[in-house]
Structure formats: C-alpha cells, structure tokens
Amino acid sequence: GAVVSQHPSWVICKSGTSVKIECRSLDFQATTMFWYRQFPKQSLMLMATSNEGSKATYEQGVEKDKFLINHASLTLSTLTVTSAHPEDSSFYICSASVTVSSNYGYTFGSGTRLTVV
Amino acid sequence: GEDVEQSLFLSVREGDSSVINCTYTDSSSTYLYWYKQEPGAGLQLLTYIFSNMDMKQDQRLTVLLNKKDKHLSLRIADTQTGDSAIYFCAERIWGSSNTGKLIFGQGTTLQVKP
C-alpha cells in the first residue's frame, strides 16, 4: 500500500519551454506532498511542501514563479518547471506524507530525470 | 539549524559488515530514517527509528541511535553485492506550517567488492 506514481520518468525539453511532472497517490489520499531536487551525486534538497487545496510552501531560495506546484486534489500534485534552462536539468522526486503505511511517514515516487537542451 | 552529515564513500568486501554513520543537528527530530537509492531510481525506505529508542534491528540491518551525540548509524550484516547503492539518512523535523518534513544527508555510496 501507499504507492506514489510519478510521471514521466524522464523528459528532454528545449530551453525556454515548460515541463510538467505529475505525482499521483494510487491507493491513499495524500494531504501533503513534498517535491525534492537531486543533482548528480548529491543529496535531495527539499524544494517545497504542498497541501491539498492551498498554496505550496517553498523552501528558501526556491523560485515560486519558476517551479509551479499545484495540489488540486488528494491524489494529484504537479510540478511545472517554467521556461526551463539547462541549469534546471536535474532529478526531481516527489514524496507523500502517509499516516498508515509500511513506509511509515513518507513514500516516494520513482523520480523524473529532466534534461534541458 | 537543520543539517545532516554523512561520510561520502564506503567500500567493503562481500560478506563483511558495513557501517554507515550519520550526524544530525536538530535535537527536536522525532524520527530518523535510512533510505537506499539505486542508480536512476527513487528512494526505498530501509528502516526508521523513533528518537526515544537506542537500537532497532531488522534482519540484516541494525540501527543505533546516540541521541546525546546526535549520531545515527546503520549496520548491514553479511553485505552482498546487491547492497551496493547510495544510502541516505534523514531526520524528520517540523516545518513552519506544522508539517513534518525530511532533511537528508549527502548520501554514502556503498561499494561492495566480490
């Protein structure tokens, strides 16, 4: 139980275009979702916390207008990278907070590899 | 402050025990986690420990927590080549919106030699 499905698993886009990444909770309701960014051989950096039906809370240094997060339902959160540039190339991972799960507390999507050319 | 530190690399021989260490700074952490990440994949929860526990054992995994020193370790017994991966420790802290969030260490790359 408590599975999070993240799509796409990889995407290549041209500089200046926008890319949307979806994160769906398949068998539970995710009130809170987290979005992380991971550079090669580095740690996961929390970008923002989204709560269903309200505005996301962004971590310091993360551009709200650049990384748009929408959590309109209890099963779907999306991250849109707007006007993407090569420096936005990274591995993005979503996570959902769960209260009853073998993952105790959090379950993660499989990640999206974004390459901006 | 919120800071989690790990050593970056560990190499062991197959069959040996591996010990991965982690230190954290936030004394209000309630849960501490160990995750495994294989190349190009998401995170797999290995185990977690509540902050009022000293030790937790789960099959080949043993977690030791020294709350006084804010030190966490993960011991993998009889390490196998399939254990080669990056291991992250993470602490759960409470954000300003009263939502628990995870702060991750840099990850320790475990290399298991046959």
DSSP for chain B, please give it: ---EEE-SEEEEETTS-EEEEEEE--TT--EEEEEEE-TT--EEEEEEEETT-SEEEETTEEEEEETTTTEEEEEESS--GGG-EEEEEEEEEE-TTS-EEEEE---EEEEEE-
**Per-residue pLDDT, B1:** 55
**Per-residue pLDDT, A67:** 97
Most confident of A96-110, B25-39, B60-74: B60-74
CA–CA distance, A83 with B88 (Å, rounded to integer): 31
B107 min Cα distance to partner chain A (Å): 6
Q: Is A88 helix (H, G, I), strand (E, B) or coil?
A: helix
pLDDT band at B42 (very low <50, low <70, confident <90, very high): confident
**Per-residue pLDDT, A6:** 96
pLDDT digits (tens, 9 = 90+) for A41-54: 788 999 999 988 88
B83 min Cα distance to partner chain A (Å): 17
Across the interface, of B31, B42, B97, the residue whose CB is closest to A105 is B31
The pLDDT of B51-70, averaged and rounded, is: 93
B37 min Cα distance to partner chain A (Å): 10
For residue A65, pLDDT beyond 70:
yes
**Per-residue pLDDT, B41:** 83
**Per-residue pLDDT, B106:** 92
Of A13-22, A70-79, B24-33, least confident by mean pLDDT is B24-33
**Per-residue pLDDT, B98:** 58
Q: Which two tokens stand for residue A11?
A: 């995407």
**pLDDT, chain B, mean:** 90
Asked if A49's CB is within 8 angstroms of B96's CB, the reply is no
For residue A115, pLDDT beyond 90:
yes
Residue A101 exposed, middle or buried by CB count within 10 Å (0-12, 13-18, 19+): middle
**Per-residue pLDDT, A40:** 82
Chain B residue numbers with beta carbons less than 8 Å from the beta carbon of A108 are 35, 42-44
- The helix (run of H) or strand (run of E) holding residue A71 is strand A67-73
pLDDT band at A28 (very low <50, low <70, confident <90, very high): confident
B2 CB near a chain A CB, below 8 Å? no
The pLDDT of B84-100, averaged and rounded, is: 81
Chain A residue numbers with beta carbons less than 8 Å from the beta carbon of B102 are 34, 44, 46, 95, 106
pLDDT digits (tens, 9 = 90+) for B5-40: 998 999 999 999 999 999 998 877 778 999 999 988
**Per-residue pLDDT, B96:** 57
